[in-house]
Amino acid sequence: MNKKIVTLDEFIIKSQKGHDDATGSLSRLLRDIGIASKIINREVNKAGLVNILGVEGSENSTGDMVQKLDIFANEKIIECLSMSGECAAIVSEENEDIIKLPSVNGKKAQYVLVMDPLDGSSNIDVNVSVGTIFGIYKRKSDASGEIELEDCIQTGLDLVASGYVLYGTSTILVYTTGSGVNGFTLDPSIGEFCLSHSDMKIPAAGNYYSVNQGYYLKFDLEMRRYIDHCSDLNLRLRYIGSMVSDIHRILFQGGIFLYPNTRKYPHGKLRLLYECNPMAMIVEQAGGKAITCGLERILAIPVTNIHQKATIAIGSPDMVDEMQKFVERYSAVNA
């Protein structure tokens, strides 16, 4: 007998039933993200055909060259979330400033979305998987007033939901609202994200480590010693330069992903608010760990500006613990 299909919409509504105070706003917001992801998926899958490849030429707020698909993804998510009125503001890697969304039918939107609309976009032209990363906060200020910076620069511990969409050999949406992690694979034949991975748990350890080995000589001593240790253990190096893809593998098969500080990126390259925090919430909810290379818990780091950077070591708990021991042993700070 065929297993019952549980769509993302059904799952979201069923999950909401567990929360008496739920008004349905968060559910509608999550469904809006699902809709935007399907539209982005359609374009990502035909990027090579409709000449939306190629570098737009402009630089985004983080100084990266912008791909046209980045802009498309950014605009689609903003458009979808503007229609339902559940989101009061958006922080995006593609926008220097906070995007304030107009009220819809007088609704007082309770939520703020932080996102990297298309992470790993430098891979688009070579047909390597890319992803959307998102986090959702409940605004702190009164919903009848203007959005304030404090609504957007909350720590990761205040996230009410986080997720990512990986546009790969199949398209999968993985998210958590703080009660476990579930994965939904897009079935193009019915245009629905269908529950494919229930209550995901990361293995305690794995055979993969993921780091840009090209920067090895630019890493601090403690990171080089830990990377040497991974190599001594004959772990497999897998790094495709797309954070969502690299961490997705580790979530499923175990391992550790590292983006340490280098001379070029003294505070790390990845963004705390809309890359590190959402991925850290997901991995922690799946039983993993996420810390900086300075051993701070990612989710607890105070956020002072919306494009703040952080170093990160994220993945299987036993492997993050072992990396921590190397930092404690070899770090100049502890010397």
Catalytic residue check, 119: yes
Minimum distance from residue 62 beta carbon to ligand P6P (Å): 8
Catalytic residue check, 235: no
Given a contact cutoff of 8 angstroms between Cβ atoms, the answer to whether 83 and 31 are in contact is no
Catalytic residue check, 79: no
Catalytic residue check, 64: yes
Q: Which of 94, 220, 222, 284 is catalytic?
A: 94
Sign of CA dihedral 58, 60, 66, 71: negative
Pairing of strands 256-259, 289-291: unpaired
Q: Is 68 in the site for ligand P6P (CB under 6 A)?
A: no
Catalytic residue check, 93: yes
Taking CA atoms, 93 is separated from 42, 98, 140, 308, in Å, by 21, 10, 22, 11
Residues 252-291 that bind ligand P6P (CB under 6 A): 269
Q: Give the one residue of 32, 70, 119, 192 binding ligand P6P; rule: CB under 6 A.
A: 119
What Rg value do the Cα atoms of the chain yield, rounded?
Answer: 19
Catalytic residue check, 275: yes
Minimum distance from residue 143 beta carbon to ligand P6P (Å): 32
Strand residue runs (E) in 60-217: 65-67, 87-92, 99-100, 111-119, 130-138, 159-167, 171-176, 181-187, 192-197, 208-210
**What gap in Å lies between CA 120 and CA 162, rounded to an integer?**
18
Given a contact cutoff of 8 angstroms between Cβ atoms, the answer to whether 156 and 150 are in contact is no
Residues 170-229 that bind ligand P6P (CB under 6 A): 212
- β partners of residue 100: 89
CB closer to ligand P6P out of 129 and 316: 129
Minimum distance from residue 300 beta carbon to ligand P6P (Å): 22
CB closer to ligand P6P out of 203 and 268: 268
Annotated active-site positions, please? 64, 70, 93-94, 116, 118-119, 275
The binding site for ligand P6P (CB under 6 A) comprises 119-120, 122, 212, 241-243, 246, 269
